Amino acid sequence: MTQSAAAFEQSLSAYAEIVEARLASLLDGSPRPAEIARPGQLIEAMHYGALNGGKRLRPYLVMQATRMFAGSDEAALQVGCALECLHSYSLVHDDLPAMDDDDLRRGKPTVHKQYDEATAILAGDGLLTYAFDIISSPETLVPDAAKVALVLELSRAAGIGGMAGGQMLDLAADRQQPDEAGIVRLQAMKTGALLRFACEAGAIIAGRPAQDRDRLRRFGEIIGRAFQVADDLLDVTSDAATLGKATGKDAAKGKATLVGLKGTDWARAELDRLVAEANALLEPYGSQAAPLEEAAHFIAYRKK
């Protein structure tokens, strides 16, 4: 690992600890104003589903994008936690028997295995709903206009025209193989949309004009594509010991990926191209953009 890659991973994991601590305090048992009670088992299952040792890449992007524009660290942390609740809900629901039917996640029983299916469905619903609670709460110190923009962008990134719609297309893809354009669209919806939101959120939190929002949004879309190509490439080229999960899963499932369609050489060249395209968008921000450039590099060339 190069020195800068090591420093990046250290920075990422240090921030993951900050995110975990905030998530734990957001998901404690004490009811907030207008809440009647927080049922213990539901809180416990949400905690279990959200505090699962993830890399917390999405909150990290929110934080670095916000810092690039000199926005509030504290607001970025709140919005990052909201985004992580939303990401966690998607994992909990995707693992359900009726969906991808996974028993393990990061080597631990999935939420419906640890508790039961009803609890997993409700924990997912609870995490999804709580994301919007966190953004709109008085503790998130951004102006109302920014909160409204964050709620709108997050709901569109996560909903029918984004992540939830992408999961629907993914389930359909098992029956009917999509073509190249279909795969690109599916992945942009299923994984790209939340990464897009993470980056754009920084510009919104910092109160930047539309031009900066568009730039960061586009940067997020491109690193979202890189994220998926890297994921599909690792599934083909890595081994289970390095990756910490089974490899060759896509081929075994007969799942259509761009790497499967166009090969690993194409994928490596595509990652170079995407990183260059993403970083070119950050040129106006000069050296302030270095942490986001490193994040793009990490996303494209990570080993797990």
Smallest distance from the beta carbon of 247 to its own copies, in angstroms?
Answer: 25
Nearer CB in complex with its own copies: 121/236: 121
Nearer CB in complex with its own copies: 168/243: 168
Task: Specify the residue for token string 């966190």.
Answer: 134
Rg of the chain on CA atoms, in Å = 19
Q: Under DSSP, is residue 24 helix (H, G, I), strand (E, B) or coil? A: helix
Nearer CB in complex with its own copies: 71/124: 124
Would you say how long the chain is, in residues?
304
Smallest distance from the beta carbon of 158 to its own copies, in angstroms?
Answer: 5
User: Distance (Å, rounded) from C-alpha 68 to C-alpha 57?
Assistant: 16
User: Distance (Å, rounded) from C-alpha 31 to C-alpha 46?
Assistant: 15
Angle at 96 between CA 80 and CA 125, to 5 degrees: 45
User: Distance (Å, rounded) from C-alpha 201 to C-alpha 192?
Assistant: 14
The secondary element (H helix, E strand) that includes residue 109 is strand 108-109
User: Distance (Å, rounded) from C-alpha 49 to C-alpha 223?
Assistant: 25
Identity of residue 194: L
Nearer CB in complex with its own copies: 144/283: 144
Q: Which residues bind its own copies (CB under 8 A)?
A: 31-39, 41-43, 46, 89, 93, 96, 98-99, 116-119, 121-122, 124-126, 128-130, 132-133, 135-137, 143-145, 147-149, 151-162, 164-169, 171-172, 185, 188-189, 193
Smallest distance from the beta carbon of 179 to its own copies, in angstroms?
Answer: 14
Smallest distance from the beta carbon of 286 to its own copies, in angstroms?
Answer: 28
Nearer CB in complex with its own copies: 33/286: 33
Smallest distance from the beta carbon of 248 to its own copies, in angstroms?
Answer: 24
Q: Which pair of tokens denotes residue 183?
A: 């795969």
Q: Assess contact for 47 and 39: CB atoms under 8 A.
A: no
Nearer CB in complex with its own copies: 77/149: 149
Smallest distance from the beta carbon of 195 to its own copies, in angstroms?
Answer: 13
